[in-house]
Amino acid sequence: MSFLLLLLQDMALAAVPALGFGMLFHVHPRILLYCALFGAVGHGLRFLLMDRFLLPIEWGTLVAATVVSFVGVYVAQSLRAHPKVFTVAAMIPMVPGVRAYTAMLAIVQINQKGYSEALFQTAVQNALQAFFTIGALAVGLAMPGLILYRRKPVV
């Protein structure tokens, strides 16, 4: 399959959970489309950065979350909505669920089977990657507030 088809598939699949979480948070129906669109764009941008520019998932997530947050602030002004309404739902598809699950599974296996260097390495590596990816989501989501809405000057 070509890269463009993979990217479009990734974006379409990422729009579904963003839309679902928008519905779960009772987002107004006219904003639901933006939830899905921002979820697709954020996940697609991260996919592009990881695949073509070979960025690690943590850095790709930080860039994608920051871009979606800034664009969300801009679009929210024209829609007269709070930007967090659709930017938070857009971050949901980028949550590293597989990494967190793999880390927990390795910890459970260490508890059941006993210590093993390979299991410990799997647990630590996946837990750290999940931790830093979630941290990148949080920082990217907070970036417009840190830069645009500062009351004190940076310097």
Task: Indicate the pTM of the whole model.
Answer: 0.91
Contacts 24+ apart (CB under 8 A), 144-148: 144/69, 144/70, 144/72, 144/73, 144/83, 148/73
Q: Which carries the bigger pLDDT value, residue 35 or residue 153?
A: 35
* Tally of structural domains, the chain: 1
Choice among 62-71, 83-92, 113-122 with the minimum mean pLDDT: 83-92
* Domain-embedded: residue 103: no
* Domain-embedded: residue 79: yes
> Which range of residues forms the domain containing residue 84?
3-95+136-148
Residue 44 has pLDDT above 70, yes or no: yes
Query: How much is the mean pLDDT over the chain?
Result: 95
* Domain-embedded: residue 130: no
